[in-house]
């Protein structure tokens, strides 16, 4: 088997493992870390940044992971300011409808920039992977290398993993919402019905599906939102009904609300 085929097969297995890990992760704060670690290894990057919120030099949450033995952890303030601006990726993705992964050099040609590397700490080569969707401002990942430009193979890999990164981010949003709801007391002050056993049996993915059921989405719509097949969404719904001791959507949501799993 040629080396490139073996390499592609290995990356596909790693993508599968990432998907499985994300589906079983119950702590939303760990989800983006799984994706960052995968990108760092698969793309042989020195630094990977996940940027969300405001693309501004003085604000906006972001997470940075650095490869072992890397020259710089990018902790000095000038470097952090450069990363927070997200340039040249923020300039392009905020205004363009294109959400394809692109290198800084590709964007530079589009924006007629002569020296795009001046926007990156240490004049590193940079590669952006935006998250598809209607995020404003744009959310996504920026990968950095000190010496080697990102290649067409990196671009192909990023394009293949982009839907999975989007699904991981959507799972993070739903699990974060779930945890926030679980911390909130029932609105009418009544003690919730005891569903400890069945509620504890809901997987992170089932919790996400339950939240979307409460938004009156169909199985097909849930599948599109979570990046899964309609048949898979229906299987999740059936398991939710079984664990909540219900036979349909209305009774399942009533049980979930009366138990405090969902707000009333």
Residue 24 lies in a domain: yes
In what side-by-side order are the strands of the sheet with 62-66? 62-66, 47-51, 140-145, 125-130, 102-103
As to burial, measured by CB atoms within 10 angstroms (0-12 exposed, 13-18 middle, 19+ buried), residue 118 is exposed
Is 139 a domain residue?
yes
Does the pLDDT value for residue 190 go beyond 60?
no
Verify that 94 and 61 share a domain, yes or no. Answer: yes
Confidence of residue 109 (pLDDT cuts 50, 70, 90): confident
Q: Does the pLDDT value for residue 189 go beyond 60?
A: no
213 neighbors 222 (Cβ within 8 angstroms) = yes
> Which is more confident, 152 or 55?
152
Render pLDDT for 193-215 as a digit per residue (tens, 0 to 9): 445 444 547 888 888 888 888 88
Q: CATH number of the domain at 240, please.
A: 1.10.10.10
Whether residue 148 sits in one domain with residue 19: yes
pTM over the 0.85 mark = no
At residue 16 the predicted structure's pLDDT band, cuts being 50, 70 and 90, is confident
Looking at the structure, do residues 161 and 200 belong to the same domain, yes or no? Answer: no
Span 58-72, mean pLDDT? 74
Tokens of 52: 């969300």
| Mean pLDDT in residue range 98-124 | 85
Identify the domain boundary among 104, 136, 165.
165
DSSP for residue 65? E
Q: Domain check: are 115 and 229 in the same one?
A: no
Return d(Cα 52, Cα 60) in angstroms, integer: 7
Same domain assignment for residues 149 and 225: no
18 & 82 share domain: yes
What's the number of domains the chain is made of? 2
């Amino acid at each position: 088997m040629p080396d490139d085929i073996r390499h592609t097969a290995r990356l596909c297995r790693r993508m599968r493992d990432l998907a499985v890990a994300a589906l079983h992760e119950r702590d939303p704060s760990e989800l983006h870390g799984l994706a960052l670690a995968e990108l760092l290894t698969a793309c042989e990057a020195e630094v990977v940044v996940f940027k969300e919120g405001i693309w501004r030099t003085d604000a906006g949450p972001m997470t940075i992971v650095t490869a072992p033995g890397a020259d710089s952890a990018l902790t000095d303030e000038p470097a952090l300011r450069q990363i927070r601006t997200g340039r040249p990726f923020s300039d392009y993705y905020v205004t363009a409808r294109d959400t394809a992964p692109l290198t800084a050099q590709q964007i530079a040609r589009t924006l007629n920039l002569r020296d795009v590397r001046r926007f990156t700490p240490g004049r590193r080569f940079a590669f952006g992977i935006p998250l598809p969707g209607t995020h404003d401002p744009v959310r996504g990942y920026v990968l950095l290398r000190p010496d080697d430009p990102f290649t067409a193979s990196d671009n192909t890999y990023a394009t293949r993993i982009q839907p999975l990164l989007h699904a991981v981010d959507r799972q993070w949003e739903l699990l974060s919402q779930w945890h926030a709801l679980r911390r909130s007391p029932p609105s009418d002050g009544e003690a919730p019905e005891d569903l400890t056993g069945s509620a504890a049996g809901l997987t992170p993915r089932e919790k996400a599906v339950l939240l979307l059921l409460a938004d009156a989405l169909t199985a097909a719509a849930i599948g599109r939102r979570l990046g899964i097949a309609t048949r898979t969404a229906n299987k999740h719904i059936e398991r939710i009904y079984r664990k909540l001791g219900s036979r349909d959507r209305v009774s399942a949501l009533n049980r979930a609300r009366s138990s405090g799993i969902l707000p009333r």
